[in-house]
Structure 1
Amino acid sequence: MQAQVKELGNYYIGGIQTAFNNLLLELGEVENEEYTHVIDQINFISALLKKSTEYLNRRKVDPEGDPELDSAIEEQIGYVWKLIELMQYGLYEENGELIQLSFNSYDNQARKEYVDEGLWLNMRTGRIYKTKNYRPYRAAKYIKEDNSSFDVLQLKEMYIYPGDQNPRVRWETEAVKGRKLTAKDLAAILAFASRNYADTIKTIKNTIKNPLMDKHPVVLISLHKAYLCGDNLVVEDQLGNKLTLKDIEEQNVSSATNLKAILPSAPEGLALTVMMNNDMQTGLLSAQPMSLITPEKIIRLLY
């Protein structure tokens, strides 16, 4: 399988190659005959190959037709979007403002790349986007590493990739200005936070039940209560809906542990940026906290 997977790169289908590399990595980490993550990846590959075949056959019949713009299937196959193409299909926004809610760098072994990932809030719409800076192992020393950003970015043009709940965005560096984060900005961020966990969870479940969608969507939630339930931190909204905060195992960070030390039991007026996770073994839908937003500042829990 490793030899065949290597060949996939020769046909410019790097996304499918990455999916099979992920399968090989999961197989290498199996302990005590526990194959949950392996089966999950096989299901993803099966759905990806089926959707890719149907999609490419449609494009073959109508090569001049528009690509699918409400999913990331092109990128999942391995296509690399050009900014001019995104503009051509109307996937851009002018004169927008973004604030970074969280930032993390990690090693993506399946892609053989280091990834710098930022989570950004659109100050106009409240939508959360991702930025990803890929640094292949072989060229990492030649590619500038992204870093945390603490200013509000004012973008002349922002390009939005096809995707699901948290699509990837890009912009030209020379078309960016920055300004200091203000109390008014923080109030706007807090106003965007979900006050009804039940509605948010319903949306999340509809997203993650599709095998090709992001399994760890990011949302912003408002806080009303917080308390410990066993070893886990639990938060509640004003309607009494509960959400367990728990570190995602494959993220290799302990932001939930960091939050326990600073979150008050009466966190009314605060909000959390959280990454959702559905544990296939226990059936628990939980959230890993990424940052805590207060009326005075954004406290990043990943560092």
Structure 2
Amino acid sequence: MNNLTEAYVDSLALNAAAIKNGKDLVKKNSFQQLSHSEDHTLLFGECKGSGKEPYRCSADFLKPDSPVFRCSCPSRQFPCKHLLGLLYAYAAGKPFAPAEVPQEIADKREKAEKREEKKRESAAAEPTEPVKRKTNKSASIKKAAAQLEGLAVAEKLLRSLVQAGLGSADKKTVQLVADQCKQLGNYYIPGVQTAFRGLLLDLQSKEDRETVYTRAAGRMTLLHSLLKKSREHLTARRDNPDLPPDAESTLEEAIGHAWQLAELRERGLTRRDSRLLQLAFRSYGDDARGEFVDEGFWLELGAGDVCVTRTYRPYRAAKHMKEDDSAFHLASVDELFVYPGELNARVRWETQTFEQPDTATFESARSAAVQSIPEAIKRVKGQIKNPLSDKHPAVLLAYSQIVEANGSYALKDIQGNLLALADLPCLQQPTTHLLPLLGNEDLNNQAALLMFEHDLESNRLMAQPLSIVSNNGVVRLLY
């Protein structure tokens, strides 16, 4: 357990409050007993609680990559503050006395080993190729029919707004449509319902009307395309239930399909032995989804792709769910799952090991950058022209210099092309004001992770820097 540091314990906590509560237990000397097994694979202790009996907690590192945490407290948070306190105490060098492994934990270890043995025997007996799941044709037909019925409801709602005109969409009208929009939850099209909620939230905004109408018009265009493509796709699915999900575009996810890892593996949407370096991170609230979104931008060093991780935490349950955070170590992943997507495909993995990035890591990241502004713009335009594509792609772009004129900044590539930098409204977190704080080394001959957006008023692409990637490290402007 040499790697059990305070930073590691921080990464286990669900939120900042859990970190504070765990550390407070150590400061207040709430642990009546702190022990470790002879081989140092088990930490366990007793912590004073609100009742007569102390809470018994343990951290089992028999398998370092998948530790097991246990506590007798009734908390719904996991790891609870008692477990975090136990780990913080060890990381802080508090004295732990050697002791025998409690019989209760020894029994649980034995049961766990038997389960693992059965899994190994079962895995050895199974074919190496993944078995394709059979489609329940009857259920598939019924679901597609229900989804098509829901699309008809959504089309009717959109048509009513278009015919009435955005200028007549007063508070009462919007509330009426919002009430009707709730019906879409009955038709297995949560993605369509979320898109509609986004439109309604725009119409309810207190910003100036011109800004609201411009944004709402874009939402309506997206909704129109989504409903049209969804109807075509689901009609084909209804008529042919053996038709597999569309793994070539983001349409399935836009409708509301939640990809299972087994589905992605079955369709070959995995990569082996990937190494990922996080370049930027942000958390924000998505009111249309009713969820917090933890979003990380990663560079997959093998392919040189900028990919994205997204973790969703419903508002109502957020305090019981672990928040993602900035990651500064290089993640090594045995199996990387890649969701259907374009420039910034969403990725996910089940297990990982961390290592400290070195100069070679940053040099590899720097060399993966797009080398010219025209090429980067070509890639971005190729994506955003599709109505259903992500309108805010991120690109790692090499530059020869970051230049400033009259308070505005721009990137210059090797060919002398210029790309203006600006803060994007969608991020709601400015970064360009941080550029003057960069050292001369960071302003010349490096690479920048940029998020793009098409500004409708000027009909120009805007780009906001999220981080600077040099041969020596990553300077984060957004995290």
Shorter-chain TM band:
over 0.9
Pairing 1:213–2:393 present:
no
Match of 2:258 among 59, 75, 80: 80
> What corresponds to 1:148 in structure 2?
326
CA distance in 2, matches of 1:68, 1:148: 32
Structure 2 residue aligned with 1:12, among 188, 199, 206? 188
Q: Which is richer in helix?
A: 2
Whether 1:31 and 2:212 are equivalent positions in the alignment is no
Deviation sequence 1:136-156 (CA, Å, 0-9, x none): 011111211001111111101
Say which is worse superposed, 226-235 or 44-53, in terms of deviation: 226-235
User: 1:267 Cα shift?
Assistant: 3.2
2: CA distance between counterparts of 1:141 and 1:258? 32
Cα distance change, pair 73–266 in 1 and its aligned pair in 2 (3 A)? closer
TM-score (norm 1): 0.96
Contact 2:306/2:394 (8 A) holds in 1: yes
Any conservation in 2 of the 1:36–1:281 contact (CA below 8 Å)?
Answer: no
Which SS does the other structure have where 1:224 is aligned? strand
Query: Residue type matched to 2:453 in 1?
Result: N
Determine if the alignment matches structure 1 residue 134 to structure 2 residue 312: yes
- Per the alignment, residue 416 of structure 2 pairs with 240
- The structure carrying a bigger strand percent of its residues is 1
- Distance in 1 of aligned mates of 2:406 and 2:259: 46
Assess, with a 3 A threshold, how the Cα gap between structure 1 residues 8 and 176 changes in structure 2: closer, same or farther.
same
SS in 2 for 1:84: helix
Aligned residues: 301
1:45 paired with 2:192, answer no
TM-score normalised to structure 2 length: 0.61
User: Given the alignment of the two structures, is residue 122 of structure 1 paired with residue 300 of structure 2, yes or no?
Assistant: yes
Q: Which residue of 2 aligns with 1:283?
A: 459
C-alpha displacement at 1:286, in angstroms?
1.6
Distance 1:157 1:113, change over 3 A: same
Provide the C-alpha distance between the structure 2 equivalents of 1:221 and 1:193, rounded to a whole number of angstroms: 5
Task: Identify if the C-alpha distance between structure 1 residues 55 and 263 changes in structure 2 by more than 3 Å, giving closer, same or farther.
Answer: farther
Shift in alpha-carbon separation, 1:265–1:156, aligned structure 2, 3 A:
closer
Shift, 1:31, TM fit: 1.2
The offset of 1:266, in angstroms, is 8.2
Structure 1 stretch 231-240 or stretch 80-89: which is displaced more? 231-240
Where in structure 2 are the equivalents of 1:154-303 lying within 5 Å? 154-172=332-350, 175-262=351-438, 264=440, 267-303=443-479
Q: What is the root-mean-square deviation of aligned Cα atoms in Å?
A: 1.4
Q: Structure 1, residues 253-301: CA drift from partner, whole Å, max 9, x if none? A: 0112112321649833311001011101111212111111122110110
Matches of 1:128 and 1:199, distance apart in 2: 15
Tell me, which stretches of 5 or more residues in structure 1 are unaligned? none
Instruction: Indicate how the Cα distance of structure 1 residues 283 and 265 shifts in structure 2: closer, same or farther if over 3 A, else same.
Output: farther
Amino acid in structure 1 at the alignment position of 2:379: T
Answer whether contact 2:329 2:356 (CA < 8 A) is retained: yes
Which has more radius of gyration? Answer: 2
Report Cα offsets for 1:220-239 as digits up to 9, x if no partner.
01111222233321111011
What is the aligned-residue identity percentage? 38
| 1:82-97 matched pairs, under 5 angstroms | 82-97=260-275
Preserved contact between residue 226 and residue 264 of structure 1 (Cα < 8 Å): no
Please list every run of 5 or more consecutive structure 2 residues that lacks an aligned counterpart in the other structure: 1-176
Asked if the contact 1:128–1:218 (Cα under 8 Å) also holds between the matched residues in 2, the reply is yes
Q: Secondary structure at the match of 1:164?
A: coil
1:93-104 → structure 2 map (5 Å cutoff)? 93-104=271-282
Does the residue aligned with 1:69 lie in a helix, a strand or coil? coil
Instruction: Mark the CA change 1:264 to 1:277 in structure 2 (over 3 Å): closer, same or farther.
Output: farther
Please identify, of 111-120 and 193-202, the stretch whose mean Cα deviation from structure 2 is larger: 193-202
What residue number does 2:5 align with? none
